[in-house]
Amino acid sequence: RRGMEGSGDTSRAVADWRLAVWTLCSVLLPVLITAWCSFQRSRRQLLIRDIFRKSKHDWHYTDLFGQPSYCCVCTQHILRGAFCSCCGLRVSERCLKKADQRFLCKEIMMRGTAGAPSSMPHHWIRGNVPLCSCCMVCKQQCGTQPKLCDYRCVWCQYTVHDECMVDCLKTEDCTLGEFKDLIIPPYYLSTINQMRKEKRTSYEKVVPYCRKHWMPVMVLANTRSGNNMGEILLGEFKMLLNPVQVFDLSKIAPAKALQLCTWLPCNAVRVLVCGGDGTVGWVLDAIDEMKIKGQERYIPQVAILPLGTGNDLSNTLGWGAGYAGEVPVEQILRNVMEADGIKLDRWKVQVTNKGYYNLRKPKVFTMNNYFSVGPDALMALNFHAHREKTPSLFSSRIINKAVYFFYGTKDCLVQECKDLNKKVELELDGERIELPNLEGIIVLNIGYWGGGCRLWEGMGDEPYPLARHDDGLLEVVGVHGSFHCAQIQVKLANPVRLGQAHTVRLILKSSKMPMQVDGEPWAQGPCTVTITHKTHALMLYHSGEQTDDDDASSLSE
């Protein structure tokens, strides 16, 4: 009996041990598999990042949920992989290294060429051609089959069927396509580079410098403006142009990017600024630096693709109130080609603090749009303070405008800027202006204010002097408060027109008041603000974006 009990205890112990082992295995095995998979994934990611870093391609991640595409190496449908934003090459993850070694990207400058080349052959990439593209040989639609098929030239964007591709097309000179007048060809840069080394400056005979209608464009994009539209636009412009023409302002300053203008024909370059009014001001400041350096003959004309919140300068110049991808980049480049050159007044705003025995250096700003003191500056100040604390919450234009609306509603109830007329003195061209009961004063250089409102015109039912952005005159208006601003924006009220002037002087006698220049706000104590003309900026005006309001008031522009 004891032997039977002992054997029973042993079998129970063995069973318990087996249960413990299987339990441990059932717990540890998934953990080990997960850890191994995580290690392999991180190792693979490190290898991919290393390829991205060393490659001449501008690789970005893509997957099944992005644009449907096929690998240029194995021809299979891509589940996880990468694409080059410059040449459009698309590969699966496992073929990335092989594709990086096999396929060349767009060359920004031709190498190893003798003499001064004036042309280059097509650079064909197979597969993933744009929808609705037509074959340059048979004129039929390309890319209609659900597989890797047909060819596209990364420079002229022409497409060819597999069966239409012949040897002569592989060696044929590329015309650079529709945007040949905007593209800086690689052979041009290599020639100019060689001439600079030899200290020769007679570029007039270099192709396409000598071509009459060549107007190379530079794209300066602020990727921090808008809903990540800057990142998308950078890739799309690199695809259509020479990548050397496209700059990310989060990585390179405008002053450095604009030095490319010195390699290009005088007074022919056009710059497309993708960003808000603040980004445009940043670029215009860099252009002013070029004037100081004696590079005035290389000054470019500036067009705007509005990605910011207000975009009043863009609206004034006909480029629209905001861009959200509704217009193809090809049409944007056509608009830049067709735009007309105009001038924009730029103003110097000098703020001299009172007291401190005048030892403090005056603050100096450059104004393109408007200066204000009062409720709209207070809204901008509150918005700016909260955006500095949590910038991730302010990545949407709609959210930004909703926050402005909230602070405007709050000021209607609190009225923090009341009795402004008792706190300030205003002089226009040296003449003292008697102020009525006001909460805000706004000095305008352009037609639009506050995200699309034509402030100087108001309801349009009263006679008023014409307002322009190139006449050396400022328009000065007063508002009774945030509610009055809202009424003006929906054309239910007129502003208090205080006059026009070449020079504006505003004296803040007491207390601290919110002020702003072109959307950059601050709280200001007693001071003297003097606004005088500084210079002109060469801008591009697009007449195709006018609204009904613009047509009705085109005389005032």
DSSP secondary structure string, 113-176? --S-----B--EEES-PPTT-BBTTT-PBPS-SSSS--EEETTT--EE-TTT--HHHHHSBP--
CATH code: domain of residue 65:
3.30.60.20
pLDDT tens digits, one per residue of 278-295: 899 999 999 999 998 989
**Strand residues in 438-519 grouped as ranges (E):** 440-444, 474-479, 496-501, 504-508, 513-517
Give the pLDDT score at 547: 45
Residue 542: pLDDT over 70: yes
Q: What is the pLDDT of residue 260?
A: 93
Are 325 and 374 found together in one domain? Answer: no
pLDDT over 80 (residue 112): no
* Closest to 505 measured CA to CA, from 474, 529, 527: 529
What pLDDT is attached to residue 554? 41
Query: Which domain-ending residue is among 338, 362, 383?
Result: 338
Within a domain: 17: no
What band does 270 get if pLDDT is binned at 50, 70 and 90?
very high
* Domain count across the chain: 3
Residues 520 and 392 in one domain: yes
163 is a domain residue: no
Residue 222 has pLDDT above 50, yes or no: yes
Query: Residue 545: pLDDT above 70?
Result: no
Res. 140: pLDDT tops 60: yes
Regarding whether 360 and 294 lie in a shared domain, the answer is no
The tokens describing 314, both together, are 């863009």
Q: Which of 304, 338, 372 is the last residue of a domain?
A: 338
In this structure, are 364 and 295 located in the same domain? Answer: no
Q: What is the pLDDT of residues 48-86, one digit of tens each?
A: 888 888 899 999 988 877 777 899 999 999 988 999 999
Higher pLDDT, residue 133 or 302: 302
Same domain, 317 and 374: no
Among 81, 106, 131, which residue terminates a domain? 106
Residue 188 lies in a domain: no
Whole-number average pLDDT of the chain: 85
**Strands, E assignment, 222-339:** 246-248, 270-275, 301-306
> pLDDT value at position 358?
61
Average pLDDT, integer, range 28-33: 85
Contact predicate 377/523, CB 8 Å: no
- Maximum C-alpha span of the chain: 122
pTM, to two decimals: 0.86
Structure confidence at residue 166 (pLDDT): 83
Q: Is 392 exposed, middle or buried (0-12, 13-18, 19+ CB in 10 A)?
A: exposed
322 and 447 in a common domain: no
Q: How confident is the model at residue 11 (pLDDT cuts 50, 70, 90)?
A: confident
Please write the tens of the pLDDT for every residue from 308-338: 877 899 999 999 888 888 899 999 999 999 9
**pLDDT score for 548:** 39
Residues 454 and 528 in one domain: yes
Residue 400 shares a structural domain with residue 528: yes
Note the pLDDT tens digit of each residue in 161-174.
999 888 778 778 89
The pLDDT confidence band at residue 388, using thresholds 50, 70 and 90, is low
Residues 246 and 353 in one domain: no
Q: Is the pLDDT of residue 127 over 70?
A: yes
- Residue 160 near residue 150 (C-beta atoms within 8 A): yes
**Measured between alpha carbons, how far is residue 407 from residues 182, 252, 402, 416, 430 in Å?**
44, 35, 9, 12, 35
Taking 80 as the threshold, does the pLDDT of residue 396 lie above it?
no
| Residue 123 or 6, more confident | 123
- The pLDDT of residue 285 is 95
Q: What is the mean pLDDT of residues 130-148?
A: 89
Q: How far apart are CA 229 and CA 302, in angstroms?
A: 20
Judge whether 201 lies within some domain.
Answer: no
Q: Note down the domain range covering 388.
A: 346-536
pLDDT at 399 over 90: no
Q: Is the pLDDT of residue 412 over 70?
A: no
407 has a pLDDT exceeding 60: no
Q: Is residue 138, in this structure, part of any structural domain at all?
A: no
Euclidean distance between CA atoms 485 and 479, whole angstroms: 7
Whole-number pLDDT of residue 384: 66
Q: Quick one: 423 and 508 in the same domain?
A: yes
Query: Could you read off the pLDDT of 445-493 as tens digits, one per residue?
Result: 998 988 788 889 888 788 888 888 999 999 999 998 888 888 888 888 8
The reply to whether 84 and 230 lie within a common domain is: no
Beta-carbon contacts of 135 under 8 Å, excluding residues fewer than 6 positions away, are 141, 142, 150, 159, 160, 161, 164
